[in-house]
Every structure is written in structure tokens, then in C-alpha cells.
Chains A and B, each alone.
Chain A
Amino acid sequence: MTPLGLVGGVVQPLLILAGSPLLLGVMRQIRARLEGRRGAGIGQPWRDLRKLMRKQRITPRGTTEVFRVAPVLLVATTLVVAVVAPFVTITSAVGPVADLFAVVALLALGTVAVALAGLDTGTAFGGMGASRETTILALVEPTLLVAIFALSVRVGSTNLPAIVSATLEDPGQVLSSASLLAAVALMIVIVAETGRLPVDNPATHLELTMVHEAMVLEYAGPDLALIELGSAMRLSVYLGLLANLFFPIGIATELSVLGILGGVVAFAVKVTVLGAALATTEVFLAKLRLFRVPELLAGSFLLALLAAGASYFLG
């Protein structure tokens, strides 16, 4: 546990907590402008959260602890990832948790908690959302793990700081075929995991095609605020991981005010650029039919597998 890691462990979660609703706002604003609307401004997600926090907490009749714990767990898992992963500083606050497998599994734990909450309500919508979400999760997990495998073979470790510093020392190896294939696979998977188009439409409500929104239909008030915040944070965390695994430039490698500031700015810029790119692409995409989604995910799985193969054969 180094001082640099400790600073990172404090700065990163604060940055992601404060910045992720703003990122969502930016993405919505970009979409709105591209679609010819004025948009609500980038502060709208924060205003929504503030509104939700003022409402009463509601427990639907017949639900158990699982329903009440799930939103907390969703935010908590994402917070832990925000603390340990190398986003702003290259060393981690809790080194033995900063493993790529552990991070991915933690994020999956959050999804599982919300899926269980969806089942717990005992409504048709809740079950439907949970069923779809776990199906997507079951297909996304393998791709993630195999892509991670492909990335870690060249470093010989799944330790996140180790992978990032190896890339920092030799940025050229990102252009190897294994890394590129893994990057494409990861991008598809991140789109699926965070429920963006073309897998799920985050703007939809009360549509039979929805996935994530169907699960959380029974949530209201502060619980819903936690779910919304958790989803926004997950998006930032995934984009941050993608950015720093392949393009870690600017990350703070030593403890200085300038270094940390640089790390913060670099991280914010990278994630915003990725988010903007995602939002721009979304404008041109329609949602896939649910049963076409597995084909997309199978494609990404194949890419990840090719990446794993290439990491040996092509170095």
C-alpha cells in the first residue's frame, strides 16, 4: 500500500461518483443535439438524482431483504472497483484486490444482485428483465474472461497495475493483433454489460423489449437513485478500464499534485471521448431483437478467442 495508491484510492471513487452522472449528461446531450433536439443540459442526471433522493422510500409488499440490499450492493461493488483499479494512479490502494478477474467478477456480482431483486418482486416484468439480463450476463462473462486472458498472457499476470504499467512502458504492443482483437471484443461486451444500444435501450420504459429497466421497475425514490447512480458509475468504470488497458497515457506514476491533477484530467478526457463516441454511434443504431443479441455476443466471444490464440501464435 503506497501513498500514491492511497491517494488514488480516495481520488478515483470521488471522481467517478461525481463525474459519472455528468458523463451520462454529456452523452444524452450529444444524442439530443445530433437528433435535432436542444437537450436538457449535462446536469440533468444530477438533478434527477436530487429529485429522487427527496422522495419517500417505498418497499413493495412481499419483497425480501434482497430487494432492499440490491441497490446498495450495486453501488458498493462499483465503488470498490473505482477504488482498486488503476484509473488515476498506477498503483492500487488495495493491491491484492486489483486483479482483472476479481474486478470483472465484482461488477458481475452487482448485476446478479439487481437480477435477484427483479425476481424477488414476483412480477412478470421483474422476472422477464432478470431472465434477459442473466442470459446476457452468461454470454458476456465468457467473452470478458477470454479477452482478459488474451491481454494478460503478454504480461504474464492478471494484476491490473502490472498490465497497465507494461502497456505504459511499451505502448507499441497495443497494436499487436491480439490486443486489437481483444479491444474490439471488449468494446462489444461493454456495450452489452452497460445496457447501451444496440443491446438494450437505456431510454426506454414500458416496452416489451426492455431489459435493465424491466428489472428495476419496482424501485422508487432513493433506491431508484442508487440504481441510476450505480448504472452510471458502471458505465464510467467500464469505459475507464477500456481506456487504461489500451491507452494508459497520462496516468499518475508518482506522487505530486501536478501528477495527480494530470491523471484526473487525462482520465476524465479519455472517458468523455469514449462516451461521446458511444453516444454518437448510438444515434445511428437501432436496437437489436433480443434473440439477435446472442449472435453479436457470440461474435465477440469468437474475437476474444482469436485474440487468445493470437497472443500465443503471433506474440
Chain B
Amino acid sequence: MNLVALGLGAAAGAGVASALMGLLVPRPARAAAVGLGSAVTGAAGVLAGIAAMTGQTWSMAAPELLPIAGVFLEVDALGGLFLAVAGAVAAVAAIYGIGYSRHHADGRAPQAVLPLFVLTLLIVPIAASVGTFLVCWELMALTSLLLVLTEHRRRAQVGEAGRWYAIMTHLGFMAILIGLLVFTAQAADDTFPALRAAAATLSPAVAGLVFLMILVGFGSKAGVLPLHAWLPRAHPEAPSHVSALMSAAMVNAGVYGIVRVGFDLLGGGARWWWLVVLLLGALSAVYGILQAAMSTDVKRLLGYSTTENMGLVLVGVGASGLFASAGNTVLAALAMAAALLHVCNHAAFKTLLFLAAGSVLHATGSRDLDALGGLRRGMPATTAAFGLGALAASALPPGTAFVSEWLLLQSLIQGLPNAGIATSIVLPVAVAAVALTAGLAVATFVKAFGVGFLARPRSDAAANAAESPATMLAGMGLAGVACVALALVPGLALPLIGRVAGGIAGTQTAPATGALTIELAEVTGTLSPFLLTVALLAAAVLVVVALRVAAARPRRQEARLWDCGAGPMSARMEYTATSFAEPLQRVFDNVVQPVQDVDVTHYQESRYLVQAVEYRRQIPDRIERRFYEPVLLAVARWGRAGRRLATGSVHRYLGYGFYTLCALLIALVVMR
């Protein structure tokens, strides 16, 4: 019995059925029906993906199904990994969505589109021809766009975010289209096996062009610099379970594309490709986390953190390509395993963080960290979930990201001694970027958790927040279990991922082995997150017991906060997210270039007495300003110039059509 086929069949059936349920089931039961159906779809995807990673394969060819291109599907280990990750995120987000969408998002359209989006997420990694891949890719973009626009009637910003997303994703699509079509033109047909066969005959220039085009396209999906602008816009405005799906599952498709085309179809390629990937990844990681450290909107912060994590993944992918082009396949497999493990880890903790942020939004109606705080009392489960996610995201033990970043650093360290000049300059820079990212991530998530959830409430909404419904808690619980499992027992995922990575890099040696203790192949390096956690817990218990024994009066007594004897302090005296990030903002003043405005109003009687001080600070995305605004202005100018052609007269338009047709016919006659 082929589990892959079984899982995919079940996923397709459940996905289509839940889309229909979204259209037909009446409102009270709609969210539950669609949510459960989508969860089954996702779970079936996980089953198929894991079966594929253990070595089962399955393929399907239906040349007659789509006109011209046909449908070709094939599941291999690499596709299986991304299939499993997308399925797992979808299952968790769908369960959470039952409770979440009951308030704003249980209309027919969003509920019918959600399962379709999940289905496209599952099909993209198993498409095996350029035609199938592009159709699925476009469907994935369109369905996710519809989901982003769910709440467009309630907030005006949603429409703007949707426009940005639509344009960026289609620019990316065009780049992928051009790249893959140039590639296909050199091959017998558009199936992936044919492309693989043609890769050897490509000239280096053409191969480089193809790679650059797909890097632009897939990079825009992964939110890599400088094409990340849609990410911090679309993620805050989408419903939170959709944000989780996009940020934890859909961006991975970008990484998948780069690995699939770069390693599998083009077969490795030149060293400069991977240097570009590595540098782009390093830049994205640092820039993304720096913007995240500055932002006060919790979902925007998480969106920028996605850019950061995808950057780290690309550092791993780039390093792997470098090592592979130098012929060191074991090391290439290690770097690739680190990148893929980080994909899994990021999916787990980003799902958890977005779901917890959504729960806060659901309870308080606010995403602004400066207006939150004190959520521990009203929302203990959500606070615990966000705390766990923040620990995982900040690359501290015993969190998940610590394990994958450790692996990444190990591969970079091992890569240095046997590298060329270019590589030996790039690798220390990459390490510095990863290190800077790790440090800033700690500051970012201390801010997000400490200011947003601890301390005292800074608004009435935060003070009166109540815990979310059970389905939302269940979703967060599942994501939390995944985080803990991946953090403590990397052996659950690492052998399978190692096999996938080995397959990509072309080696039989598993780069990392061991269930509880990670042991690296051909390299002295061991790490046991499990033992580390056990040791930490044991030490903590020891300290508590010792304290009980040694303290003369072990009972606790409540007391007032120290307030200089001036009476109770107000919440306005607390540090906010803005003030918390201020020192960092000063340090990186030259990079982020904040816009500050201080207005001091004096009393009329004396200019030494201050009546009011108004302070405004904005941190615009600098890349957006330098890179996008000129382009947008040029387009607008072009549009205005074009307006003269379109006066609204029907005769004129008919005339344009007539003259164009004539010109075409003349051209055809002449060229014949």
C-alpha cells in the first residue's frame, strides 16, 4: 500500500469536500466544518510527506488534463519534506481558524477559499512539470490573496496590503515564468526529468540567467531583500490563521523553488550563484531582524522576523551550494540539513507566534505592543504560548531555533579551512551576520514578550482581555507541542531531513545522526538539547530546594512596588515597546534612519515653561524608500502621460484598435 498516494488522495478529497462545505453549509456550522475538513487535508498531507521522506515515491502523469501543458505530479523526498511542513502548519492553523473566524471571517468566500489554499500549498512541492508548477504557483498566490482580503470591509489598510501583495507576487511570478521558460526552451519538453537531462547542455550564461530569474521570483515569495516589502504589509492585515499559513508554510515555497531548480534541475551550478544566495540571505537576516526589533506592531514584527529566518535558511542553502561546488558533499549535506531543519523549526514557532498574536488581537482588538501588557492575568494560556514561541525564535536553549542555528554555525566553521579566497572572506561575514541576527533576535523577542504580555496593562482593552475559545487554544497547543518536540528531540526530524539533504548534495553519509544527541558526521561536534534541558531543570530544582532549606523564612509575602513613596504608579510610567527599542535604535541610527518630530508648546507668559510636548517617531523601511519609491513615482508619471491617450472617446479607442490591426497586418506582410 503506497502511503503517499493514500495521503494525497485523502488530502485532495478532504480539501475539495471542505471547499464545497464552505459554500453550502449554513453560517453557524460553517467555520467548524471547513476547519475540520482543512485540518484533515493538512494531516493527510503530513502523512504523504513523511512517507515520501522515508523513501516511498509516487508519480502521476495526465497529459490530457490541462490544455497544452498537462498535469504531472511526482513526490520525492525533497517535495515530501515541504509537503509535510505545509500540511502540519495547515492542520494546526485550520483547527485554530474554527474559533478565530467565527467573528470576522466566516463568510462564504473566505471559508471556501481556505481549503483550496491548503490544497495548493500541498501540490506546489509535488508538481513535476513547468506547466503544472506554474499553474499551482499562481493558484497559491490567488487563493492567498483572496484570504488576505478577508477583512477589507472592516479596515481600509487591508486593501492597500492586498494590492502590494498582488503586485509583488505577480512580479515574482513573471520572473519565475521567464526563468523557467528560458530553461524549458533548451529541453525536450517541460517535465522536470527532461529539464534535468537538458541542464548539462546549458551554456553557463543561460544557466546563470535562469538561476538569477528564479532567484528573484522565489526570493520575492520567501520575503528576501529587497523584495520583502509585501511581507510586513500583508501578514498584519490577513486573519491570523492565514498569516500563520502564509508566514510558516507559503514562504517555504520560495526556498523549495530555489533548492529544486538550483540543485535538482540545474544540478548545482557555478560558485557565484551560491555566493549571491548566501549574501542575500545574510543581508535579509540582519535587515529583517533589525526592522523587527524596531517595530511595535506585533504582527508586523513577526512578518519581519520571517524575512530574517528565511535569510538564515538561505545562508544555509548558499553555504551548501558553495561546499557542493567545491566538491565537499558531506559538508554540503550538513549545511543543507541545517537549512531544512530551520525551515521546519521556523514553521513550528512562527505558527505558534502568529496564532498567539491572533489570540491577543481577538481578545483586545489591538496589535500595538504599546497598548498591550498585563495579559498574563487574563490570558494565561496565550501568554505561555507566546513565551514558548519567543524562546524558540530567539535562538536560546532550550528553544528550537537554537538547534538549527547551531548546526548552521557548525557547517560554516567546518567549511572555512578548505575554502578558496572568495569563500574564506564570505564565510566569516556570514557567521557575523548569523551572530548579529541571533543577538538582535533576543532583544526583539524580549521586547515582544516582556512588553506585550508581562508588566501592567497599558490600555483598558488589555486589562479586560479574556482567554480565547477552546479551538484556538487547541491550535496553539498543537503548535506548542511541535515546538517542544523539535527542540528537545531533534532526532525525530533530523535523520529524515539528513536523508533529504544527503540526496540533494549527492552523498550517502547522513550529515547528522542520533536521537537525543546530535552527532555530526566526519566532524567533532555533539549537542544534546535534551540533556541540556534536563540539566537545566535539575539545576533549577536543586536551587529551589536549597533555597527552601537555607532561607530562614521561606513563605512569600506580597508587597507594594517601590514607588518612591509617591503613591501607586500609573501604567503610563512603564517602559513601552518604543522606549524599550530606543537604545538599539540609537545604536543603529545610520541604518534605520528614523524620522523624529518633537513639538514643544510653551505657555504664552514665559517660554521657559512647557505646556505640552508632542513626540512622533516613525521608522520607515529604508529599502522601500530608496528602491520602491522612485519606481512607483516613475510608474505614476508614466500613467499620467498615458492618460492623454485615453480621453474617454469611443471613436478614439476604435481608431487605436483599427490602426494597431493595420500596423500588425502590414508588419506581417513585410516580414513574410
Q: Determine if A119 and B553 form an interchain contact, defined as CB atoms under 8 angstroms apart.
A: no
Q: Determine if B396 and A96 form an interchain contact, defined as CB atoms under 8 angstroms apart.
A: no
Q: Determine if A146 and B558 form an interchain contact, defined as CB atoms under 8 angstroms apart.
A: no
- What separation, in Å, do the CA atoms of A53 and B551 have in the docked complex? 5
Closest 6 pairs (CB-CB, A-B): A127-B575, A141-B439, A119-B450, A96-B528, A145-B435, A122-B455
- What separation, in Å, do the CA atoms of A99 and B518 have in the docked complex? 12
Binding stretch for chain B, among A35-43, A108-116, A279-287: A108-116
Contacts of B554 in A (CB 8 A): 57, 222
The answer to the question of B664 belonging to the interface, with a C-beta cut-off of 8 Å to chain A, is no
Task: Provide the B391-430 mask, 1 if CB < 8 A to any CB of A, else 0.
Answer: 0001111000010001001101110110100001100110
Q: Determine if A312 and B586 form an interchain contact, defined as CB atoms under 8 angstroms apart.
A: no
Contacts of B672 in A (CB 8 A): none
Contacts of A134 in B (CB 8 A): 442-443, 446-447, 580
Q: Chain A binding site: helix, strand, loop or mixed by DSSP?
A: helix
The answer to the question of A29 belonging to the interface, with a C-beta cut-off of 8 Å to chain B, is no
Q: Determine if A105 and B396 form an interchain contact, defined as CB atoms under 8 angstroms apart.
A: yes
Q: Determine if B540 and A308 form an interchain contact, defined as CB atoms under 8 angstroms apart.
A: no
Contacts of A162 in B (CB 8 A): 524
Contacts of A222 in B (CB 8 A): 547, 550-551, 554
Binding stretch for chain B, among A18-26, A79-87, A257-265: A79-87
Contacts of A138 in B (CB 8 A): 293, 439-440, 442-443, 584
Q: Determine if A119 and B402 form an interchain contact, defined as CB atoms under 8 angstroms apart.
A: no
The answer to the question of B139 belonging to the interface, with a C-beta cut-off of 8 Å to chain A, is no
The answer to the question of A276 belonging to the interface, with a C-beta cut-off of 8 Å to chain B, is no
Q: List 10 contacting pairs A-B, 8 Å CB cutoff, sorted by A.
A: A59-B556, A62-B456, A119-B451, A123-B573, A127-B451, A145-B435, A157-B413, A157-B524, A158-B413, A218-B562
Partner of B574, one of A60, A127, A139, A309: A127
The answer to the question of B561 belonging to the interface, with a C-beta cut-off of 8 Å to chain A, is yes
Asked whether A56 and B557 contact (CB < 8 A) given A76-B543, A112-B394, the answer is: yes
Task: Provide the A196-222 mask, 1 if CB < 8 A to any CB of B, else 0.
Answer: 000000000000000000000110011
- What separation, in Å, do the CA atoms of A76 and B517 have in the docked complex? 21
- What separation, in Å, do the CA atoms of A97 and B539 have in the docked complex? 14
Asked whether A102 and B454 contact (CB < 8 A) given A131-B579, A142-B436, A158-B525, the answer is: no
User: Closest chain A residue to B395 by CB distance?
Assistant: A105
Asked whether A64 and B454 contact (CB < 8 A) given A106-B532, A138-B443, the answer is: yes
How many whole Å from B12's CB to the nearest CB in chain A?
A: 43
- What separation, in Å, do the CA atoms of A73 and B419 have in the docked complex? 41
Q: Determine if B454 and A120 form an interchain contact, defined as CB atoms under 8 angstroms apart.
A: yes
How many whole Å from A179's CB to the nearest CB in chain B?
A: 15
Q: Determine if A75 and B543 form an interchain contact, defined as CB atoms under 8 angstroms apart.
A: yes
Q: Determine if A149 and B409 form an interchain contact, defined as CB atoms under 8 angstroms apart.
A: yes
The answer to the question of A128 belonging to the interface, with a C-beta cut-off of 8 Å to chain B, is yes
Task: Provide the B643-672 mask, 1 if CB < 8 A to any CB of A, else 0.
Answer: 000000000000000000000000000000
- What separation, in Å, do the CA atoms of A121 and B550 have in the docked complex? 26
Interface residues of A (CB under 8 A from B): 53-62, 64, 66, 72-73, 75-77, 79-80, 83-84, 94-97, 99, 101-102, 105-106, 108-109, 112, 115-116, 119-124, 126-128, 130-132, 134-135, 137-146, 149, 152-153, 156-159, 162, 217-218, 221-222, 226, 290-291, 294, 301, 305, 308-309, 311-313
- What separation, in Å, do the CA atoms of A62 and B570 have in the docked complex? 12
- What separation, in Å, do the CA atoms of A144 and B553 have in the docked complex? 40
The answer to the question of B449 belonging to the interface, with a C-beta cut-off of 8 Å to chain A, is yes
User: Closest chain B residue to A162 by CB distance?
Assistant: B524
Contacts of B610 in A (CB 8 A): none
Q: Determine if A119 and B543 form an interchain contact, defined as CB atoms under 8 angstroms apart.
A: no
How many whole Å from A85's CB to the nearest CB in chain B?
A: 12
The answer to the question of B632 belonging to the interface, with a C-beta cut-off of 8 Å to chain A, is no
Interface residues of B in 538-571 (CB under 8 A from A): 539-540, 542-544, 547, 550-563, 569, 571
User: Closest chain A residue to B439 by CB distance?
Assistant: A141
The answer to the question of B373 belonging to the interface, with a C-beta cut-off of 8 Å to chain A, is yes
Q: Determine if B525 and A99 form an interchain contact, defined as CB atoms under 8 angstroms apart.
A: yes
- What separation, in Å, do the CA atoms of A249 and B524 have in the docked complex? 23
Q: Determine if B557 and A122 form an interchain contact, defined as CB atoms under 8 angstroms apart.
A: no
Q: Determine if A59 and B587 form an interchain contact, defined as CB atoms under 8 angstroms apart.
A: no
Q: Chain B binding site: helix, strand, loop or mixed by DSSP?
A: helix
- What separation, in Å, do the CA atoms of A121 and B571 have in the docked complex? 11
User: Closest chain B residue to A206 by CB distance?
Assistant: B564
User: Closest chain A residue to B575 by CB distance?
Assistant: A127
User: Closest chain A residue to B410 by CB distance?
Assistant: A158
How many whole Å from A102's CB to the nearest CB in chain B?
A: 6
Partner of B557, one of A57, A75, A96, A159: A57
User: Closest chain A residue to B537 by CB distance?
Assistant: A76
Contacts of B417 in A (CB 8 A): 153, 156, 312
Q: Determine if A137 and B442 form an interchain contact, defined as CB atoms under 8 angstroms apart.
A: yes
The answer to the question of B583 belonging to the interface, with a C-beta cut-off of 8 Å to chain A, is yes
Partner of A119, one of B454, B523, B550: B454
User: Closest chain A residue to B433 by CB distance?
Assistant: A142
The answer to the question of B434 belonging to the interface, with a C-beta cut-off of 8 Å to chain A, is yes
The answer to the question of B591 belonging to the interface, with a C-beta cut-off of 8 Å to chain A, is no
Q: Determine if B535 and A84 form an interchain contact, defined as CB atoms under 8 angstroms apart.
A: yes
User: Closest chain B residue to A134 by CB distance?
Assistant: B443
How many whole Å from B301's CB to the nearest CB in chain A?
A: 15
- What separation, in Å, do the CA atoms of A84 and B431 have in the docked complex? 25
Most A-side CB within 10 Å, residue of B414, B432, B440, B573: B432
Contacts of B54 in A (CB 8 A): none
In the complex, how many residues of chain B place their beta carbon closer than 8 angstroms to a beta carbon of chain A? Answer: 85
Contacts of B523 in A (CB 8 A): 156-157
Partner of A76, one of B396, B431, B526, B536: B536
The answer to the question of B527 belonging to the interface, with a C-beta cut-off of 8 Å to chain A, is yes
Most A-side CB within 10 Å, residue of B540, B542, B543: B543
- What separation, in Å, do the CA atoms of A134 and B559 have in the docked complex? 27
The answer to the question of B582 belonging to the interface, with a C-beta cut-off of 8 Å to chain A, is yes
User: Closest chain A residue to B455 by CB distance?
Assistant: A122
Asked whether A99 and B406 contact (CB < 8 A) given A131-B582, A141-B438, the answer is: yes
How many whole Å from B514's CB to the nearest CB in chain A?
A: 9
Q: Determine if A124 and B573 form an interchain contact, defined as CB atoms under 8 angstroms apart.
A: yes
How many whole Å from A21's CB to the nearest CB in chain B?
A: 14
The answer to the question of B492 belonging to the interface, with a C-beta cut-off of 8 Å to chain A, is no
Q: Determine if A128 and B575 form an interchain contact, defined as CB atoms under 8 angstroms apart.
A: yes
- What separation, in Å, do the CA atoms of A97 and B602 have in the docked complex? 61
Q: Determine if B396 and A156 form an interchain contact, defined as CB atoms under 8 angstroms apart.
A: no
Contacts of A156 in B (CB 8 A): 413-414, 417, 523-524
Partner of A127, one of B434, B536, B580: B580
The answer to the question of B470 belonging to the interface, with a C-beta cut-off of 8 Å to chain A, is no
Q: Determine if A119 and B455 form an interchain contact, defined as CB atoms under 8 angstroms apart.
A: yes
Most A-side CB within 10 Å, residue of B425, B526, B555: B526
Contacts of B573 in A (CB 8 A): 123-124
Q: Determine if A120 and B455 form an interchain contact, defined as CB atoms under 8 angstroms apart.
A: yes
- What separation, in Å, do the CA atoms of A55 and B553 have in the docked complex? 7
The answer to the question of B499 belonging to the interface, with a C-beta cut-off of 8 Å to chain A, is no
Asked whether A66 and B454 contact (CB < 8 A) given A123-B562, A153-B416, the answer is: yes
Q: Determine if B406 and A309 form an interchain contact, defined as CB atoms under 8 angstroms apart.
A: no
Q: Determine if A309 and B428 form an interchain contact, defined as CB atoms under 8 angstroms apart.
A: yes
Contacts of B525 in A (CB 8 A): 99, 157-159
User: Closest chain B residue to A118 by CB distance?
Assistant: B450
- What separation, in Å, do the CA atoms of A142 and B580 have in the docked complex? 20
Contacts of B456 in A (CB 8 A): 62, 122
Q: Determine if A76 and B587 form an interchain contact, defined as CB atoms under 8 angstroms apart.
A: no
- What separation, in Å, do the CA atoms of A101 and B450 have in the docked complex? 25
Contacts of B571 in A (CB 8 A): 122
Q: Determine if A56 and B431 form an interchain contact, defined as CB atoms under 8 angstroms apart.
A: no
Q: Determine if B587 and A139 form an interchain contact, defined as CB atoms under 8 angstroms apart.
A: yes
Contacts of A79 in B (CB 8 A): 539, 542-543
Q: Determine if A116 and B557 form an interchain contact, defined as CB atoms under 8 angstroms apart.
A: no
How many whole Å from A209's CB to the nearest CB in chain B?
A: 13
Asked whether A77 and B536 contact (CB < 8 A) given A60-B559, A157-B525, the answer is: yes
Q: Determine if B569 and A123 form an interchain contact, defined as CB atoms under 8 angstroms apart.
A: yes
The answer to the question of B376 belonging to the interface, with a C-beta cut-off of 8 Å to chain A, is yes
Partner of A62, one of B413, B540, B561: B561
Q: Determine if B406 and A101 form an interchain contact, defined as CB atoms under 8 angstroms apart.
A: yes
Contacts of B543 in A (CB 8 A): 72, 75-76, 79, 226
